[in-house]
Amino acid sequence: MNATDRTPADLLASALAADPGRPLVTFYDDATGERVELSVATFANWVAKTANLLQGELSVEPGDRVALLLPAHWQTAVWLLACASVGALADVGGEPSAADVVVSGPDSLDAARACRGERIALALRPLGGRFPQPPDGFLDYAVEVPGQGDRFVPFAPVDADAPALIVAGAEFSAAEVVQKAVADAAELELTGPGSRLLSGLPYDTWEGLSAGLFSPLASGGSVVLCRHPDRLGEEALAQRIESERVTAVRR
């Protein structure tokens, strides 16, 4: 990161400027065997397209609340940074009826229907695949996002001191997200591009979001994000830690 970075979107921009080709997010789903690795450039492209979807197609403005009913997943990480890019308030696991937009995985569609605004559904299939049949009342993210622009420019500057994230009942500004991520990265001894944090934590607490995205991003390192890590035995975990050159673990 740079000393002037005050928002998560700033952190991503700094990572992109420093080394766009290095890995940023390596995702495993140990229930399906899926493995996806996204470089900084590829991740940033997904973020730009998603932010353009939010700002353009969905008319989301700074301060609007986006309820994210999603598990720890690489696409959830994309949505968190897209919300930060627009200046929207990402409400992780938030009440859909209080949100301007809801983003739902396949397991929370019924709850998401309480949102009176736009509803987006993610199939969470390998390679960002779409639903075989789009859920009634929802836009299919995998259908909508590919046609969005590859570069994003917010209509209005993002206020680093405005509310940016709610998780487990705690609210943080964009600047506080960055400050906490930097502090956590130091505690985890994430010191730069060679730092690789393996996280098996869910995204429903600050600790999970920090380990699974924000701290590696703030440190200039990368994350190995594991969904359903309980399916993985200790020997297989040790092999993953070695093969992925992991330097820190949070489970």
User: Which residue stretches of 35-159 are H helix?
Assistant: 40-52, 74-86, 109-112, 141-144
Q: How confident is the model at residue 109 (pLDDT cuts 50, 70, 90)?
A: very high
pLDDT score of 3 more than 90: no
What per-residue confidence (pLDDT) applies to 76?
Answer: 98
Task: Kindly report, residue by residue over 58-97, the tens digit of the pLDDT.
Answer: 999 999 999 999 999 999 999 999 999 999 999 999 999 9
For 2, 27, 170, 247, the CA distances from 75, given in Å and listed in that order, are 25, 10, 22, 24
Taking only the tens place, the pLDDT of each residue in 13-34 is: 999 999 999 999 999 999 999 9
Kindly state the DSSP code that residue 124 receives in the 8-state scheme: -
Buried b (16+ CB within 10 A) or exposed e, 13-37: bbbbeeeeeebbbbbbbbeeebebb
| Average pLDDT for the chain | 97
Residue 1 clears pLDDT 80, i.e. is over it = no
Measure CA 211 to chain center.
12
- CATH match of 8-250 with 3.40.50.12780: yes
| Domain range summary for the chain, segments of one domain joined by + | 8-250
Indicate whether 131 pLDDT > 90: yes
Q: What is the pLDDT of residue 167?
A: 98
